[in-house]
Each structure stands twice: as structure tokens, then as C-alpha cells.
Structure 1
Amino acid sequence: MDYLSISDAQQQTGLRLVLTRGVPGPWSEAAKAVLDLRHVAYQAVEQQGGRKNLDLVAWTGHRNAPIALYNGEPPRVRWLEILDLAERLGSGESLVPKALDARIFMVGLINEIAGERGFAWNARLLMLNAGYEAQGPEVIDKNPMYHEYQYDAGQVSLARQRVIDFLDFLTAHIKAQASRGSAFLVGDQLTAADAYWACFSNMLQSLPAAQNPMPDGLRRSWAVLAKSIDGYDPVLIHQRDMTYAQHLKLPLDF
């Protein structure tokens, strides 16, 4: 993927999407997915994972990715803000259900996947804990994510249980949807929830290297999650694979 530098991006208009360069960060990949599904063009802007990104902070007030910047509007960093922007700027089938109850369920489900204290947040804590155990307390000052994710060794057990509870819930839900003839996570149509689970499921089981040419070190880091729990139902990955095969771009480009 081609990236603008921060200084070049500041001179541009239209939609600029700050992404973590060189890795398939799930928040970044999901933002790309919903924009692509809504046929929204954007220019990618470079963010370096796990670093201070001082020039990015000076411009946007944020260190992390993704960040969506559209013309002179305020930066958008939360998943729902970016989805709302994709809905506004895009065309074709909406990724948001029309029915209120389905819409409420979709928003809640994505928040459990990608929101604070959700699946990915807790998965990241388990990965950070592996780094802490391997490198000792000094790693906390080397990687800003330990502070941003409020790492506390005493919370690791709770984080693990929340991951397990979520995966159990999602497994049961996918099977219930299949029993009523739906291949989707919400209702009977593709929604943003399908895209978000597809992208974030790579933390549980990464796509093969031919489809996801991620760095070997990150692949090993993400493998910590699956090793931290007592297995998971293959239906979770089958659901992901169907979504990628039918709706999302492969191989991943980051």
C-alpha cells in the first residue's frame, strides 16, 4: 500500500485515513474494509505501530490508528465514527441494518469486538502480558501500549475470561444464525459486524501467509491469544473465511 507522509497528508483534502504501516492492525483493517465496501476512496497516511508518532499527535491529537480525516472536519478515531462517515460518503448497500433492533444488536456486537474492554482489548492485554513475562517490567516504559491499555498483571485472568465468554457467545450466535438459514452475523444481509469480525478474527487465528503477509514476529505475538485459552470452535474461523471469500479483499495490503 502506498502511504502519504504526515506532512504531505496535511496538504491534501478529501478523505485521508491514517493506518498502521506494515502490519494488519485489526482496527485499521476494519476501517479499510467498511470504506471499501461502501466504495469510498481515501489516501492512506502512515502511522508507526507502538511508537510515539509525535508528528501525528501534533496534527490530530492522537497517536494510534486508524484516524479518518475528511476535509476540515474533526478527526474521527472511534469505529462508529468511521462507520458513520463511510455510510455518509459511500454508495451501494448500507452496512447498517434498517431495523432498529438489528441496528442496536450490530452496534453492541461490534463494540464487544472492537471497543474498549472488548474482545480485542482483552486479547491485547494477554499479548502484552506475554511480553511482560518474557522481558520484565522494563518493557512497560519501552512500549506505550502498556500504558494505553492500562496493563495490570492482576487483570490478566479477567481479560482471559472475557475473551472466552465473548467467543462462546459469538459461537452460539453464529450457529443460531445458521440454523435459521443466515450466513451473516446480523439479520440476513452483510453488515459492518461481518467485516469487523473478519478483520479482528486474525488475532485469534491469522489468515495464511499468502493471504496475510504479516511479519513473523507479529504472527507469533498474535498466536499468544489462542494459546491462552482452552480452544475455540472452528465455526468462528469458518465465518471469517466466508466473509473474506465473498466480500473482502485478499490478499491483505498494508
Structure 2
Amino acid sequence: MSYVFNPRTPSVPVANSDALFPVHRIYCVGRNYVEHAKEMGWSGREAPFFFMKPADAVLPVPNGQIGDMPYPGMTSNLHHEVELVVAIGVGGKNIAVETAAAHVWGYAVGLDMTRRDLQLASKEQGRPWCTAKGFDFSAPISPIYPLSQTGWIDQGNIHLDVNNVQRQDSDINKLIWNVAEVIATLSTLYELQPGDLIFSGTPEGVAAVKTGDLMEARIAGVGELKVRVSGANR
């Protein structure tokens, strides 16, 4: 037996280590902060809903470095969305909220980059969001910090600047559905696997970036992520 071509396994560095975290799937939670839901035209505590990105959409950025994200084609309205990323280390189905913490391997800072114009067009036509959310390099991510180093994250500042100007600023405790609830709900829809990443939602303040802009994201107790939007095609 042999492969037709060499398989590619997307991975993310583990903070303070030479280890790599292999990525299985990327799940994202939509409209999971109250104020962001309002700015997107919604209100109230609706049931959590999910969409996905390809595993190889990750753009890992080592600590102390600035990631290079090419501006994607077919859009003129590329938006940033800073998010707490939850890395799953133990899989399972129908996980209880009370035991969800046992399935978390660690956390990272992530950006759910979005072709907003394509997303709005898809919504109007009742079509999937795949091209709006799942394009190449659409999931920049910091190194993953093990739970043993961060402890359980249920509060702390989540923040993003663009070119040293504040865009997003909130607290993890303002999640509509907290991390444990997200894991429990998601596990009723999919059997979670080690290597899954869950982008837990973004606070208000999402807005467009252009070529040359520097995004600087940070989450208290986790870390930071710096990404520059380039005009290069990769």
C-alpha cells in the first residue's frame, strides 16, 4: 500500500514547545456575543449554530512573529473577527456540560477572517457560507497553550487593534454560550475528535481590513496573535 501523493497534515505549534498539534476539523460558532449579534441584526439568546472551515485554512503564526495573510480574491470587504480558540484533546459524543472541561487540551488566539460581501450575498440567496468563511488562510492562529498552563478560561479581555487603533474589545464572560455549553451542544451534532479546533465566536467591532493593515489580537490568560494583510498570492 502506498499513497498516490504525500498526505498533508495541517498542524499548529504548541506554545513553549517544539510539539505540533495536528488539526482534525475546524468548527466555528456564529453570533456568540450579544453585541456582535446585534450589529449583525439579531438579538436574544438563540440556540448556538455552527459552520466549518477546512483544516488547512489554518495560518499558524509563531510567538513573536507577524503572520502574512494574502488578501483573498473575489472580495472587497474582508473582515476580522478575533476569537478564543478551543483545542480538543479528548473526543466524544453527547458530552455533558459538567464534564466538557475534560475534553479541552488548550487554547489559542484566532481570527475568523470573513469575505463579508460574499457572506451577505449568500444569506440573501439562502446559500451556504463556504466561500465566505472557508477560503485559504482564513483561520490565522497563535500557538496553542495547554490547559495545564492557562487553566480554565471563562473570563478575560479579548481585544483586537488594526494599525494600533482599537477595533474589538470585550470579555470572554460575555459569550452567549460559554465554552462548556458550546462543546456539549456541538458534540450532539458531531463526534468530536482529538485535534478539533473550535472558534468560539467574536465580540462586536468587526470591520474591514485592507492590504498592508496590521491586526494585533490578544486574549488575557492566553496570548497574542499578529497578522499583516499582504497583497501577495500564495
The TM-score, its normalising length taken from structure 1, stands at: 0.23
Of structures 1 and 2, the one scoring higher in RCO (CA 8 A, sep 6+) is 2
Q: Whose strand fraction is larger, Structure 1's or Structure 2's?
A: 2
Q: Whose helix fraction is larger, Structure 1's or Structure 2's?
A: 1
Greater gyration radius: 1
The TM-score, its normalising length taken from structure 2, stands at: 0.24
